[in-house]
C-alpha cells in the first residue's frame, strides 16, 4: 500500500532513509546524513511542509523536496529533487509524488512549477512530460580536477588551437587574451544592470546560491564589455573550488572570444593552487565559453534539462 506523508509528519530517520533509497544509483553520489540533508534543505530554501515522503507497506520508498518561492512577482514551485527506491521504480510511486506535488502547488497559489533533470535520465523526463512539464533550456557541467593541470605547460590562450593535447589543458587560461582589458571584481547586481545580460531560466534556482561573485571586463574606454558570474569555495581558510555559472561578452564586439577568455582566466585563477574547477548550469547556448573550456582541458561531467509547467 502506498501512503504519502508531509516531511513534517515523518521522523528525521525516515526522511533520510527515503532520500538515500530514492537516490541510490543516481548519476551523482547523493547520499546524505541527517545533518547534511537538513543543511541541504536550509541552503536551497526547501520546505519540510511542502515536501513529501512516500511509504510502501510502511517502509520509506521515495521522496520529493519542494520549495515555494517568490521570483519576480511570480510564485514558483521548485522541485529540489525527486527520488524513488530502486525496487519501487516503475510502480507509480514517482508519478504519485509528482501529482501530489502539483496539488500542493495549486493549493499554495503557485503559478509556475520548475525542476531540473539529468539529460540522460529518460525515464524521469518522460514522467515529467507526462504530467505537463516541458523542456525549456539545457545546461552543462564541465569539470577540471585539481591534479589535471599538472599535465600541462603554460601557453597563451591565443595559441590554444595549436597546442598539443597536453599543452591544451587548463594552463592555457593562465594568460589574459589582451593586456588592454581591465578586470574588476563586482557583485551580481553589477551584471544584472548590463544591457547585454540576459536572465537565464536557471535564475529561479540561482537566488539560493551563497557567496556569489562577479567579474566585469572593461575596455580602454572603461566600457563594460564582458562579465562572469561565479563562486569560490573555501575550506579551513583555503580555496578548494572555483564554480562558473555564466560568462558572456558584449555581442557586437569583434573580440568576443578574447573577452570571454579573459573572464574565464580570472574565474579559474589562481594557477599555482590545486583547485577543483567546475561549471554549474552553464547554458548550452553559450557555445563560445564551452568551446574555450573544452580546449583548455575541461571534460563534460553532466548535462541537465530545465523543465517548467504553468499552473495558471
When comparing pLDDT for 176 and 238, which is higher?
238
pLDDT tens for each residue of 206-251: 777 778 899 999 999 999 999 999 999 999 999 999 999 999 999 9
Res 176: pLDDT: 44
Backbone angles phi, psi at 266, to 5 degrees: -70, -45
Which of 148-162, 215-229, 264-278, 286-300 is predicted least confidently?
Answer: 148-162
Q: With 60 as the cut, is the pLDDT of residue 270 above it?
A: yes
Question: CA of 19: how far to CAs of 62, 81, 107, in Å?
Answer: 7, 9, 25
pTM for this prediction:
0.81
Listed residue (66, 280, 258, 308) closest to 158, CA to CA: 258
Specify burial of residue 205 (Cβ count, 10 A radius: 0-12, 13-18, 19+): buried
Amino acid 172: pLDDT:
61
CA distance 61 to 56: 6
Q: CB–CB of 140/290 below 8 Å?
A: yes
Which grid coordinates are listed for 119?
539529460
DSSP string of 99-161, one letter each residue: HHHHHHHHHTT--EEEEEEETT-HHHHHHHHHTT-EEEEEEEEEEE-GGGGGG-----GGGGG
What does pLDDT average to over the chain? 87
Query: Domains of the chain, with CATH numbers?
Result: 2-110 (3.40.630.30), 141-302 (3.40.630.30)
pLDDT tens-digit series, residues 105-161: 999 999 999 999 999 889 999 999 999 999 999 999 999 876 554 433 333 333 333
Amino acid at each position: 500500500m502506498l501512503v504519502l506523508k508531509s516531511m513534517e509528519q515523518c521522523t528525521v530517520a525516515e526522511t533520510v532513509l527515503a532520500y538515500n533509497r530514492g537516490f541510490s544509483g543516481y548519476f551523482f553520489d547523493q547520499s546524505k546524513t541527517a545533518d547534511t540533508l537538513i543543511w541541504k534543505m536550509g541552503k536551497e530554501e526547501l520546505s519540510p511542509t511542502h515536501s513529501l515522503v512516500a511509504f510502501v507497506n510502511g517502509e520509506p520508498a521515495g521522496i520529493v523536496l519542494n520549495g515555494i518561492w517568490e521570483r519576480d512577482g511570480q510564485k514558483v514551485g521548485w522541485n529540489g529533487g525527486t527520488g524513488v527506491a530502486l525496487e519501487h521504480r516503475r510502480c507509480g510511486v514517482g508519478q504519485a509524488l509528482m501529482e501530489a506535488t502539483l496539488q500542493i502547488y495549486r493549493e499554495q497559489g503557485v503559478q509556475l512549477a520548475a525542476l531540473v533533470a539529468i539529460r540522460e535520465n529518460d525515464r524521469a523526463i518522460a514522467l515529467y512530460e507526462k504530467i505537463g512539464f516541458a523542456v525549456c533550456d539545457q545546461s552543462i557541467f564541465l569539470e577540471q580536477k585539481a591534479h589535471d593541470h599538472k599535465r600541462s605547460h603554460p601557453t597563451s590562450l591565443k595559441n590554444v588551437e595549436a597546442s598539443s593535447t597536453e599543452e591544451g589543458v587548463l594552463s592555457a587560461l593562465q594568460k589574459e587574451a589582451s593586456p588592454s582589458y581591465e578586470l574588476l571584481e563586482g557583485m551580481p547586481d553589477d551584471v544584472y544592470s548590463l544591457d547585454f545580460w540576459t536572465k537565464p531560466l536557471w535564475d529561479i534556482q540561482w537566488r539560493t546560491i551563497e557567496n556569489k561573485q562577479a567579474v566585469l571586463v572593461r575596455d580602454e574606454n572603461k566600457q563594460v564589455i564582458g562579465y562572469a558570474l561565479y563562486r569560490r569555495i573555501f575550506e579551513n581558510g583555503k580555496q578548494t573550488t572555483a564554480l562558473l555559472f555564466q560568462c558572456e561578452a558584449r555581442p557586437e564586439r569583434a573580440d568576443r572570444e578574447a573577452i570571454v577568455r579573459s573572464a574565464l582566466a580570472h574565474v579559474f585563477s589562481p594557477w599555482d593552487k590545486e583547485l577543483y574547477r567546475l561549471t554549474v548550469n552553464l547554458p548550452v547556448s553559450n557555445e563560445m565559453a564551452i568551446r574555450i573550456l573544452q580546449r583548455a582541458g575541461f571534460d563534460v561531467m553532466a548535462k541537465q534539462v530545465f523543465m517548467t509547467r504553468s499552473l495558471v
